[in-house]
């Protein structure tokens, strides 16, 4: 990971036009964040209205995860090949339509189908939006500032989405889907004039590696599905999905080596900072989503808190929406990305450890340090990881770099949720529900500790240079 510091940084001032473009792109990533978070807290209301079984209800989330994780690499590369603005606007429109259709769903299968297509749309527009930023701002302090504002908005959207979801679900769960559709319409109207068109790649370079795209999409979907459903199906089914997914990954590598226009140029993985950023991002995401799952269940099932009370309890994590664009750029300029990332990962590890003493009557004041320190950790780690994962990558592969990073985040989330669920189920079967949640905290703690180790290697490399 880069540790370059800037003794005389250029001015961070951006033009009003640049701020307008960044505002629109931040709106889109905010939309993606609240969309996921709001639906999570609305699941009980959806089950009651549509009469869904527990398995069907799980697919409301799983369908989005499959579409989002499975198509992210293809979506990122499509943005590079067919125009980032074009892909962003087109798939934002698709997201708008399917969100509205999901809100109108009268049957469970209709909602599940809408969620899958929404996931695919997000898988294209998210890396497209990130690559518009990385190709519109020159590498250095201006791009870093833009990326930190962008990443802070993403995390802030997720935190705020928990509260908005609780409020909207209390009125009618369908507004949890209608609200993102309305926001998507506003963003789309603003994006048309504010996001400039970029020169298209030459026609002979605009060839999508279809064989590679189909293979890696199927592979990622099987891997995510195998991990995400591990706690709900038999071990044989899980093993079959994972083995088949890994076999398809191996086949994908063979295809890419032989392809004249590969979907993923394998040489991109020769960048050690990029690989470390993706691996640290996977572990960081897995730790957070595992912890969030544990904390929500503890507060609602053990303590009997409402979904709105739980959402408000987690709101402090959204502190990074303020810290990321204000404090983090100064820290990055002074200490470099690697040191700031390491500090963020250490803060995350500390926050999870502080949650270990939870009991039947733990007051919120005792939980607050975990929530606020976790918000600080996001401010320090998430944005700089995005910077490192895209720094030094050729402009023609910025969409691919974004797709790789978001795939890592998504797969990490699936791993963290599956591992936490497996531990909770295993211990809770013995009749100790509180003990199950305490034991499951080993998952985010271990993942955060591994992320610290990975990040420390980057610090050592930077010091050696």
Tell whether 339 and 420 lie within a shared domain: yes
When pLDDT is cut at 50, 70 and 90, the band that residue 311 belongs to is confident
Number of folded domains in the chain? 3
Q: Tell me if 202 is assigned to some domain.
A: no
Length, in residues, of the chain:
465
With a cut of 90, say whether residue 420 has pLDDT above it: no
Cα–Cα distance for residue pair 227/238, rounded to 1 Å: 7
- How many alpha carbons lie under 13 Å from residue 216 in its C-beta half-sphere? 25
Top mean-pLDDT range of 66-80, 140-154, 274-288, 409-423: 274-288
List C-alpha distances in Å: 115 to 25, 44, 102, 119, 261.
22, 17, 7, 6, 32
Tell whether 62 and 174 lie within a shared domain: yes
Tell whether 130 and 248 lie within a shared domain: no
pLDDT of residue 8: 37
Cβ atoms of 80 and 393 within 8 Å: the answer is no
Q: At what angle do helices 84-104 and 72-82 cross, to 10 degrees?
A: 140
Tell whether 396 and 440 lie within a shared domain: yes
With a cut of 90, say whether residue 351 has pLDDT above it: yes
Cα–Cα distance for residue pair 379/147, rounded to 1 Å: 12
pLDDT of residue 350: 97
Q: Which residue has the tokens 């963003």?
A: 187
Of 143, 167, 195, the residue that ends a domain is 195
Q: Which of 32-46, 82-96, 431-445 has the lowest mean pLDDT?
A: 32-46
List C-alpha distances in Å: 445 to 113, 166, 285, 290, 355.
35, 28, 12, 10, 10
Q: Tell me if 11 is assigned to some domain.
A: no
For 169, the token pair is: 């679900």
Q: Which of 114-123, 302-311, 351-360, 397-406 has the lowest mean pLDDT?
A: 302-311
Q: Tell me if 306 is assigned to some domain.
A: yes
For residue 260, how far is the Cα from the chain centroid? 31
When pLDDT is cut at 50, 70 and 90, the band that residue 2 belongs to is very low
Cα–Cα distance for residue pair 248/328, rounded to 1 Å: 40
What's the rounded mean pLDDT across residues 329-348?
93
Tell whether 373 and 295 lie within a shared domain: yes
| CATH at 152 | 1.20.1250.20
Cα–Cα distance for residue pair 54/42, rounded to 1 Å: 14
Tell whether 286 and 396 lie within a shared domain: yes
With a cut of 50, say whether residue 235 has pLDDT above it: yes
Tell whether 288 and 323 lie within a shared domain: yes
pLDDT of residue 94: 96
Q: Tell me if 127 is assigned to some domain.
A: yes
With a cut of 80, say whether residue 205 has pLDDT above it: no
Q: What is the pTM of this model?
A: 0.84
pLDDT of residue 352: 97
Cα–Cα distance for residue pair 85/192, rounded to 1 Å: 9
List C-alpha distances in Å: 212 to 77, 111, 263, 365.
11, 30, 6, 51
Tell whether 230 and 277 lie within a shared domain: no
Q: Tell me if 200 is assigned to some domain.
A: no
Tell whether 249 and 311 lie within a shared domain: no
Nearest Cα neighbor of 415 from 231, 243, 237 is: 231
pLDDT of residue 413: 84
Q: Tell me if 7 is assigned to some domain.
A: no
Q: Tell me if 413 is assigned to some domain.
A: yes
What's the rounded mean pLDDT across residues 363-371?
95
Q: Which residue has the tokens 């990954």?
A: 249
Cβ atoms of 107 and 431 within 8 Å: the answer is no
pLDDT of residue 11: 43
Q: Residue 305 burial by CB count (10 A; 0-12/13-18/19+): exposed, middle or buried?
A: middle
Q: Tell me if 4 is assigned to some domain.
A: no
When pLDDT is cut at 50, 70 and 90, the band that residue 206 belongs to is low
Nearest Cα neighbor of 116 from 55, 60, 46 is: 60
Domain limits at 387?
268-459
Of 223, 247, 264, the residue that ends a domain is 264
Secondary structure of the chain in HEC code, one letter for each residue: CCCCCCCCCCCCCCCHHHHHHHHHHHHHHHHHHHHHHHHHHHHHHHHHHHCCCHHHHHHHHHHHHHHHHHCHHHHHHHHHHHCHHHHHHHHHHHHHHHHHHHHHCCCHHHHHHHHHHHHHHHHHHHHHHHHHHHHHCCCCHHHHHHHHHHHHHHHHHHHHHHHHHHHHHHHCCCHHHHHHHHHHHHHHHHHHHHCCCCCCCCHHHCCCCHHHHHHHHHHHHHHHHHHHCCCCCCHHHHHHHHHHHHHHHHHHHHHHHHCCCCCCCHHHHHCHHHHHHHHHHHHHHHHHHHHHHHHHHHHHHHCCCCHHHHHHHCHHHHHHHHHHHHCHHHHHHHHCHHHHHHHHHHHHHHHHHHCCCCCCCCCHHHHHHHHHHHHHHHHHHHHHHHHHHHCCCCHHHHHHHHHHHHHHHHHHHHHHHHHHHHHHHHHHCCCCHHHHHHHHCHHHHHHHHHHHHHHHHHHHHHHHC
Cβ atoms of 273 and 457 within 8 Å: the answer is no
Tell whether 94 and 161 lie within a shared domain: yes
Q: Which of 2-11, 87-96, 146-155, 311-320 has the lowest mean pLDDT?
A: 2-11
Of 142, 170, 195, the residue that ends a domain is 195
Tell whether 432 and 308 lie within a shared domain: yes
Cα–Cα distance for residue pair 213/81, rounded to 1 Å: 13
For residue 458, how far is the Cα from the chain centroid? 22
Tell whether 140 and 105 lie within a shared domain: yes
């Amino acid at each position: 990971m880069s540790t370059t510091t800037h003794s005389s940084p250029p001015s961070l001032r951006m033009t009003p036009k640049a701020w307008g473009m960044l505002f629109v792109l931040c709106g889109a990533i905010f939309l993606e964040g609240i969309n996921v978070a709001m639906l999570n807290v609305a699941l009980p209301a959806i089950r009651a209205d549509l009469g869904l079984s527990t398995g069907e209800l799980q697919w409301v989330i799983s369908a989005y995860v499959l579409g989002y994780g499975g198509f992210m690499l293809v979506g990122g590369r499509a943005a590079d090949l067919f125009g980032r603005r074009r892909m962003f606007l087109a798939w934002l429109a698709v997201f708008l339509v399917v969100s509205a259709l999901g809100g109108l769903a009268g049957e469970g299968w209709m909602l599940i189908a809408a969620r899958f297509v929404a996931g695919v749309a997000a898988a294209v527009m998210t890396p497209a939006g990130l690559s518009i930023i990385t190709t519109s701002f020159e590498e250095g302090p201006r791009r870093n500032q833009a990326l930190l504002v962008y990443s802070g908005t993403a995390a802030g959207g997720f935190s705020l989405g928990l509260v908005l979801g609780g409020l909207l679900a209390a009125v009618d769960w369908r507004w949890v889907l209608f609200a993102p559709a309305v926001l998507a319409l506003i963003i789309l109207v603003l994006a048309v004039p504010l996001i400039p068109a970029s020169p298209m790649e030459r026609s002979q370079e605009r060839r999508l590696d279809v064989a590679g795209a189909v293979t890696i999409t199927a592979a990622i979907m099987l891997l995510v599905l195998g991990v995400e459903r591990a706690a709900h199906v038999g071990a044989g089914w899980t093993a079959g999905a994972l083995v088949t997914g890994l076999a398809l990954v191996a086949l994908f590598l063979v295809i890419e080596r032989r392809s004249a226009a590969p979907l993923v140029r394998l040489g991109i993985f020769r960048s050690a900072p990029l690989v470390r950023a993706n691996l640290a991002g996977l572990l960081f995401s897995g730790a957070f989503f595992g912890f969030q799952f544990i904390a929500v269940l503890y507060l609602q099932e053990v303590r009997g808190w409402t979904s709105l009370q739980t959402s408000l309890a987690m709101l402090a994590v959204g502190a990074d929406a303020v810290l990321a664009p204000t404090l983090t750029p100064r820290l990055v300029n002074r200490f470099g990305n690697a040191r700031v990332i390491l500090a963020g990962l250490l803060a995350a590890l500390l926050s999870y450890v502080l949650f270990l003493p939870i009991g039947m009557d733990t007051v919120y004041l005792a939980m607050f340090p975990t929530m606020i320190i976790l918000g600080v950790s996001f401010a320090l780690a998430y944005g700089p990881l995005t910077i490192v994962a895209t720094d030094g990558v050729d402009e023609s592969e910025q969409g691919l770099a974004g797709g790789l990073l978001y795939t890592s985040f998504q797969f990490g989330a699936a791993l963290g949720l599956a591992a936490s669920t497996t531990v909770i189920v295993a211990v809770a079967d013995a009749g100790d529900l509180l003990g199950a949640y305490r034991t499951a905290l080993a998952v985010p703690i271990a993942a955060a500790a591994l992320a610290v180790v990975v990040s420390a290697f980057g610090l050592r490399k930077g010091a050696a240079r």
